[in-house]
């Protein structure tokens, strides 16, 4: 019938994200509480913003986007798993953006973020999944933990046959699905990311061996699913949500990751409630030895022979909140990284009772501009430009020359590429004259040191002794080096090439996307001004 048409990937992503949120709420009820708190705080902030008509505070994202907005995280063990996950997310309009080397923080993994890339898709639903892949070569493993992990991983199947069928179908239909297919796809994809009642794929003993090597190894290799380990709603005031979480009695991570609280938010600030101890059912019998003893080849065959399960616990799943500010340029990022390092050096040298957050606030106050016009003028943030409707009085000769090079949008964009600084300076003038307004572009990505801080506060139980570097009170510990939960891992540097090989496609550089958005908005303004002048 001709009523049959494809579901738009943006719609599919929204349906998937809502279903995932519902699933996680059922699995981790505390996440439901978190969503409720965040919605309350966001409503208050929006009310007070409307009444003061204040648009200088950063995000101009719609309230609709805000209420839908969240990110999740999964941890994968094998390149082949990542390849299929990449295919799943492509159907949802999510593509790998950004490379995150987590070895800088002592974690044997690297990551990318699957997210929408166009401004229209981001506005419709920016749902993202931070996806890490184990780097077995970074696990020291003198006692065979690495081999055990790989053995366990080689035995599991994350994807149901129905899901794989649906992926083939979607790819035959240029990454599209009809409504009935979409329903199957979402149901089966969610299965991949569910907790699956905590039935482990290993024995308690195997789990203990991996955990002793590195807690993340056990979390990745001992389960049957690529369970999401948190879902993160976006808030407009993370400090208010943090206070509300504490007053509701949640065990909350001690400090907020990312930049300090500012009048004009940049990048990303994050905090979480700590991971919960959850019941796990371990296999009673070692699958490998069962295979040897009974020469059974399929794991299903072995599973059906499991006589009872052994009860245990696993601590990894948590709830996180985030506050998003402006995307910064490479120069803005460089300054951010530098000030972070400076604050860290100061806390280690400091002895007069200041907390890391005090020092961070102070370090940024003196050196990182905290208002829109200075941030723009110093080219520290990416902006989207709009015409206000005020007439252009004089055309700058350089711009006139630039416009004379062509009249189509793509010709103008090329001209901007060649003469970006001229156009940016001109944009500054027009903003001053009230012909253009600049709005910050929301940061859609992640921060590797923050991610490491979140990881480390959740991989071990609160108060656990080897948890390095996430405590505000502790002064001689670097808050971000994270450091070796296990001393075996040195800093080996990233390996984007091998992550891309696993993905089967290249990773997009987020700065390229932000810069494109900025230039597109400028070229649209140029065209509009030229037309209204003529």
- Residues contributing to the site for ligand OOG (CB under 6 A): 73, 75, 130, 132, 229, 270, 320, 446, 450-451, 454-455
CA 466 and chain centroid, separation: 26
Distance in angstroms (rounded) separating the CA atoms of residues 312 and 290: 21
DSSP state at residue 443: P
* Rounded CA Rg of the chain: 25
Pairing of strands 109-115, 128-134: antiparallel
- Which residues are bridge partners to 76 per DSSP? 133
**CB 100, CB 489: distance < 8 Å:** no
CB of 336 to ligand OOG, least distance (A): 15
Nearest of 93, 13, 28, 445 to residue 230 by alpha carbon: 28
Q: Binds 446, which of Ni ion, ligand OOG, none (CB < 5 to 8 A, cut-off by type)? A: ligand OOG
Which is nearer to ligand OOG, 116 or 453 (by Cβ)? 453
Distance in angstroms (rounded) separating the CA atoms of residues 273 and 222: 23
Tokens 């040897």, residue located: 292
Which is nearer to ligand OOG, 112 or 176 (by Cβ)? 112
- Which residues are bridge partners to 115 per DSSP? 95
Which is nearer to Ni ion, 57 or 128 (by Cβ)? 128
Which is nearer to Ni ion, 72 or 198 (by Cβ)? 72
Q: Binds 176, which of Ni ion, ligand OOG, none (CB < 5 to 8 A, cut-off by type)? A: none
Which is nearer to ligand OOG, 385 or 455 (by Cβ)? 455
| CB-closest chain residue to ligand OOG | 451
- Summarize the chain as % helix, strand, coil (round to 5): 50, 15, 35
CB of 274 to ligand OOG, least distance (A): 12
Task: Please state, in angstroms and as integers, the Cα–Cα distance from residue 413 to each residue in 225, 429, 524, 533, following that order.
Answer: 45, 20, 9, 19
Nearest of 351, 328, 207, 213 to residue 259 by alpha carbon: 328
CB of 322 to ligand OOG, least distance (A): 7
CB of 76 to ligand OOG, least distance (A): 10
Which is nearer to ligand OOG, 148 or 454 (by Cβ)? 454
Classify each residue of 403-417 as buried b or exposed e, where b means 16 or more C-beta atoms within 10 Å of its C-beta.
beeeeeeeebbebbe
Distance in angstroms (rounded) separating the CA atoms of residues 397 and 533: 15
Pairing of strands 309-315, 277-283: antiparallel
Q: Binds 127, which of Ni ion, ligand OOG, none (CB < 5 to 8 A, cut-off by type)? A: none
Q: Report 221-240 residues binding Ni ion (CB under 5 A).
A: 232
Q: Report 281-340 residues binding Ni ion (CB under 5 A).
A: 320
Q: Binds 132, which of Ni ion, ligand OOG, none (CB < 5 to 8 A, cut-off by type)? A: ligand OOG
CB of 454 to Ni ion, least distance (A): 6
CB of 385 to ligand OOG, least distance (A): 30
**CB 152, CB 206: distance < 8 Å:** yes
Which is nearer to Ni ion, 232 or 521 (by Cβ)? 232
Distance in angstroms (rounded) separating the CA atoms of residues 180 and 133: 32
CB of 36 to Ni ion, least distance (A): 19
CB of 317 to ligand OOG, least distance (A): 10
CB of 162 to ligand OOG, least distance (A): 27
Distance in angstroms (rounded) separating the CA atoms of residues 465 and 354: 23
Tokens 């951010």, residue located: 336
Q: Binds 105, which of Ni ion, ligand OOG, none (CB < 5 to 8 A, cut-off by type)? A: none
Would you call 392 helix, strand, or coil by DSSP? coil
- State the CB neighbour count (10 A cutoff) for residue 374: 13
Q: Binds 75, which of ligand OOG, Ni ion, none (CB < 5 to 8 A, cut-off by type)? A: ligand OOG
Which is nearer to ligand OOG, 302 or 451 (by Cβ)? 451
Q: Report 67-86 residues binding Ni ion (CB under 5 A).
A: 73
Distance in angstroms (rounded) separating the CA atoms of residues 33 and 492: 40
Q: Binds 229, which of Ni ion, ligand OOG, none (CB < 5 to 8 A, cut-off by type)? A: ligand OOG
CB of 41 to ligand OOG, least distance (A): 19
Q: Binds 450, which of Ni ion, ligand OOG, none (CB < 5 to 8 A, cut-off by type)? A: ligand OOG
Q: Binds 455, which of Ni ion, ligand OOG, none (CB < 5 to 8 A, cut-off by type)? A: ligand OOG
CB of 268 to ligand OOG, least distance (A): 8
Structure token pair of residue 187:
């149901």
Q: Binds 273, which of Ni ion, ligand OOG, none (CB < 5 to 8 A, cut-off by type)? A: none
Which is nearer to Ni ion, 130 or 282 (by Cβ)? 130
Q: Binds 125, which of Ni ion, ligand OOG, none (CB < 5 to 8 A, cut-off by type)? A: none
Which is nearer to ligand OOG, 216 or 513 (by Cβ)? 216
Structure token pair of residue 164:
């794989």
Residues that bind Ni ion (CB under 5 A): 73, 232, 320
């Amino acid at each position: 019938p001709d009523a049959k048409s494809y579901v738009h990937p943006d719609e599919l992503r929204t349906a998937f994200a809502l279903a995932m949120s519902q699933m996680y709420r059922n699995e981790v009820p505390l996440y439901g509480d978190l969503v409720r708190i965040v919605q309350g705080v966001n409503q208050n902030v929006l009310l007070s913003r409307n009444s003061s008509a204040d648009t200088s505070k950063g995000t101009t994202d719609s309230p609709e986007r805000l209420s839908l907005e969240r990110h999740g995280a999964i941890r994968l063990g094998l390149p082949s798993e990542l390849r299929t996950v990449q295919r799943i997310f492509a159907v949802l309009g999510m593509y790998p953006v950004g490379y995150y080397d987590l070895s800088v923080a002592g974690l044997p993994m690297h990551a990318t973020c699957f997210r929408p890339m166009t401004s229209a898709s981001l506005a419709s639903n920016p749902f993202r999944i931070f996806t890490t892949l184990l780097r077995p070569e970074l696990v020291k493993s003198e006692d065979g933990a690495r081999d055990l992990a790989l053995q366990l991983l080689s035995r599991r199947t994350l994807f149901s046959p129905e899901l794989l069928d649906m992926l083939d179908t979607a790819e035959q239909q240029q990454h599209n699905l009809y409504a009935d297919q979409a329903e199957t796809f979402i149901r089966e994809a969610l299965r991949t990311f569910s907790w699956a009642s905590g039935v482990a794929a290993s024995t308690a003993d195997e789990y203990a061996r991996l955990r002793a090597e590195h807690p993340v190894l056990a979390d990745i290799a001992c389960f049957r699913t690529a369970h999401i380990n948190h879902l993160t709603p976006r808030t407009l005031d993370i400090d208010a949500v943090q206070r509300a979480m504490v007053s509701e009695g949640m065990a909350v991570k001690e400090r907020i990751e990312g930049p300090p609280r500012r009048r004009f938010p940049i990048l990303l600030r994050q905090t979480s409630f700590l991971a919960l101890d959850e019941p796990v059912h371990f296999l009673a019998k070692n699958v490998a030895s069962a295979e040897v003893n009974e020469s059974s080849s399929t794991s299903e065959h072995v599973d059906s022979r499991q006589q009872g399960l052994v009860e245990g616990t696993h601590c990894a799943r948590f709830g996180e909140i985030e506050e998003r500010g402006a995307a910064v340029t490479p120069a803005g990022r460089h300054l951010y990284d530098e000030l972070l390092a400076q604050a860290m050096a100061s806390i280690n040298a400091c002895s007069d009772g200041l907390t890391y957050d005090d020092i961070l606030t102070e370090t940024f106050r003196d050196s990182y501009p905290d208002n829109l016009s200075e941030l723009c003028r110093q080219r520290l943030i990416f902006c989207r430009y709009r015409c206000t409707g005020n007439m252009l009085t004089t055309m700058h000769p350089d711009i006139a020359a630039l416009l004379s090079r062509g009249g189509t949008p793509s010709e103008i964009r090329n001209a901007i590429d060649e003469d970006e600084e001229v156009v940016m300076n001109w944009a500054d003038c027009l903003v001053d004259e009230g012909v253009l307004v600049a709005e910050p572009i929301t940061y859609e990505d992640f921060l590797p040191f923050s991610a490491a801080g979140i990881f480390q506060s959740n991989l071990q139980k609160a108060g656990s002794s080897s948890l390095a570097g996430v405590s505000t009170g502790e002064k001689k510990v670097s808050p971000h080096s994270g450091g070796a939960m296990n001393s075996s891992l040195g800093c080996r540097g990233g390996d984007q090439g091998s992550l891309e090989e696993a993905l089967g496609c290249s990773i997009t550089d987020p700065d390229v996307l932000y810069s494109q958005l900025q230039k597109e908005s400028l070229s649209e303004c140029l065209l509009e001004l030229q037309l209204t002048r003529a």
